[in-house]
Amino acid sequence: MTATPTLTRTLPKRRLTGLKPTGHLHLGNLLGAIRPVVDAQYQAETIVFLADLHALTVAHEPARVRELTLEQATMLLAAGLDPDRAMLYVQSQLPEHTELHFLLECATGVGEAQRMIQFREQSTAQQHVRLSLLTYPVLMTADILLHDAEEVPVGEDQSQHLELARDVATRFNARYGETFTVPRAVHPEVATRVMELSDPTSKMGKTTSSDAGTIFLLDPPDVIRRKVMRAVTDSGRTVVYDPQTRPGPANLLEILSACVDAPPEVLAAEYSSYSKLKRAVAEAVEGLLRPIQLRHAELTRDPGFVRRVLAEGAERARDNATDTVHRAKRAIGLLT
Ligand code: AMP
């Protein structure tokens, strides 16, 4: 695909990130998604939303979705997201997401949705597959196009969905006239991919990895220490950074590297044994999470503040979202 953005705007670029409230946030979420957003919030117009509608595409508990949505919003603020700078809101509080979703379904083929690898993988693992799981990438397309996002930071697992968003936007523009900005995927220069501590060949995930192999952002120091000290390594006697053949130590070195901002190869040379490396990792992760946990505890004492931030965020996001939906309705033939 060679589509280029159809609507151009002057800098700064608008960047969009969504987090799904399906589980507690973990170290992978912090290093792979939250920290990059917080670091970039003064360079790019930043929009972060809690994707609670996406959380409904698989089996869910209603009260838990609400609870996790608030917990994740609190965590984003605790990790340094500045609500005066970035827009932070809950997806379901902005009905324009679902309104645009339907319009875009009218520009998407069933076959396109069925081709999505993530749908095929997830649907074979479930007994009762919700229709919304099939159309989830179209809702994701709506999330992106709603905000005229030019750049969408995505991991490998979301690349195909971003391609779909580009295809749908390009097709809609060609069929009904220039309406949407065609988004571009941005991949971090050094992709941070935190692996499970008890199985370093699979990605740390909110619901996919084991508790013992996942460092949750609210884990107390003794739990972090226990999880890191029990991390799977190998029978090697020296600490070497080699992600291909020694994934366990490589994962620990990459975590340490992200915490202390030094290359993993250089760090490898500083430790003579796995136990010394693990002690350093536990200490670094505790140090990274301590201020976030303290701020999270403070914010939890004032849930009214977080709710106000979310309501104001939705209000600020509304103007542009309403404008986009009007544009789409005019183009597709619903408004003059
Ligand atoms: P998810 O937890 O799958 O909803 O993902 C939320 C965000 O965190 C996405 O931007 C993911 O790419 C990122 N993320 C999730 N797990 C990891 C991981 N283990 N390592 C790095 N980034 C991750």
Q: Of 104, 189, 119, 142, which is closest to residue 18 (Cα–Cα)? A: 142
Beta bridge partners, 89, equal 49
Contact 256, 281 (CB under 8 A): yes
Residue 107 has pLDDT above 60, yes or no: yes
Across 158-177, average pLDDT: 96
The pLDDT value given to residue 188: 64
Domains of the chain by residue range: 14-190+302-332, 211-298
Q: Tokens 């917080």 sit at which residue?
A: 38
**Helices in the chain by DSSP H: which ranges?**
27-29, 35-40, 62-78, 96-105, 110-114, 117-124, 131-146, 159-176, 221-229, 247-260, 264-268, 274-300, 303-332
- Ligand 1 proximity of 20 Cβ (cutoff 6 Å): yes
CATH 1.10.240.10 fits 211-298, yes or no: yes
- Ligand 1 proximity of 50 Cβ (cutoff 6 Å): no
Measured CA distances, 275 to 160, 233, 279 (Å): 40, 10, 6
The string of pLDDT tens digits covering residues 253-275 is 999 999 999 999 999 999 999 99
- Ligand 1 proximity of 29 Cβ (cutoff 6 Å): yes
Task: Say yes or no: do domains 14-190+302-332 and 211-298 share a fold.
Answer: no
- Ligand 1 proximity of 214 Cβ (cutoff 6 Å): no
Distance CA 179, CA 201 (A): 43
CATH 3.30.70.1050 fits 14-190+302-332, yes or no: no
Across 100-125, average pLDDT: 95
The string of pLDDT tens digits covering residues 183-195 is 998 876 655 789 9
Q: Of 119, 131, 103, which is closest to residue 157 (Cα–Cα)? A: 119
- For CA atoms 143, 145, 147, 151, give the dihedral sign: positive
Distance CA 16, CA 12 (A): 13
Measured CA distances, 200 to 31, 54, 190, 218, 272 (Å): 16, 27, 18, 21, 21
At 20, the pLDDT band (50, 70, 90 cuts) reads very high
Listing DSSP states for 33-74 in one string gives IIHHHHHHTTTSEEEEEE-TTGGGGS---HHHHHHHHHHHHH
- For CA atoms 290, 220, 56, 160, give the dihedral sign: positive
Which pair of structure tokens corresponds to residue 333? 């033939």
At 3, the pLDDT band (50, 70, 90 cuts) reads very low
Rounded to the nearest angstrom, the distance between the alpha carbon of 28 and the centre of ligand 1 is 6
Residue 218 has pLDDT above 60, yes or no: yes
- Ligand 1 proximity of 56 Cβ (cutoff 6 Å): no
Q: Which of 29, 52, 121, 190 to mutate to test the pocket of ligand 1 (most atoms within 8 A of CB)?
A: 29
